[in-house]
Amino acid sequence: MSPLSSADTATDTAAGEEAPERDERREELLATLASELGDAVVGSHISPGQTLWVRVDREAWRHTAEVAKNRLRLNFFDFLSAIDWLPSPFGRDMDSQEDLAVHGAEPKEPTPMTTGYAGGDTRFQLLAHLYSTRSHLGVVFKADLPDDDLRVASWVPVYHGADWHERETWEMFGIEFTGHPNLAHIYLPSGFEGHPLRKDFPLLARRVKPWPGIVDVEPMPGGAGDEEEEGG
């Protein structure tokens, strides 16, 4: 059999461009997740040499944690939180004075909602990072949460370290973790209304009194100002 020529091995890569970098270890992690979770894996992204992002169906959120711990050996729980991808609805009244000076005070054009690596279909996304102290590989897991049903199964039965992270996410974003042993406030008083990390939560102090941003700074001794004075 004759060896393959360059024509035989040609791909869709444009002439002169390098082939995409491979990360076989993270590809193997993704393949294991796909085999265990099936259609529950709805999106993924590999940044070679850095991180693997995997988006799963929220109904499989608890099972994802079990697979990550028992099959992928991701034994270290790093963090859990949420993202509100909604562009700010408040326009310029939330900008600092420096923002206004640099970008102008004209009304902002509405920006489309984007959802980062591994994609997304909803405004709210849950995310968590797990890590293996043996392989030194980590995975960022994400799950879409519909606006009208911000509920998801707790990870505390699988990773006890998720306890306070879920409590914080509950009070700051309003996401309920079913099965959590003690979903109680950490920072806010029990009667507090609203969820401060949502994009539609107004920062009233910023609306009442503009934030400074720009400040006058005196020149340091020996700086340009002193040289001008000496030259004059």
**Residues 37-54: tens digit of each pLDDT:** 999 999 999 999 999 999
State the pLDDT at residue 218: 62
Model confidence over 106-118: pLDDT tens digits? 666 667 778 889 9
Q: Please indicate, yes or no, if residue 99 is contained in any of the structural domains.
A: yes
Q: Please indicate, yes or no, if residue 173 is contained in any of the structural domains.
A: yes
CATH of the domain at 33: 3.30.460.80
Q: Please indicate, yes or no, if residue 230 is contained in any of the structural domains.
A: no
What is the extent of the structural domain holding 201?
Answer: 24-106+117-214
**Rounded CA separation 26/6 (Å):** 28
pLDDT band at 75 (very low <50, low <70, confident <90, very high): very high
pTM: 0.75
Q: Please indicate, yes or no, if residue 184 is contained in any of the structural domains.
A: yes
Cα→Cα distances 230→143, 218, 226, Å: 63, 17, 6
Q: Please indicate, yes or no, if residue 210 is contained in any of the structural domains.
A: yes
Q: What is the CA radius of gyration of the chain?
A: 25
CB atoms under 10 Å from CB of 40, counted, come to 20
- What is the number of structural domains in the chain? 1
pLDDT band at 232 (very low <50, low <70, confident <90, very high): very low
Q: Please indicate, yes or no, if residue 223 is contained in any of the structural domains.
A: no
Q: Please indicate, yes or no, if residue 229 is contained in any of the structural domains.
A: no
Q: Please indicate, yes or no, if residue 62 is contained in any of the structural domains.
A: yes
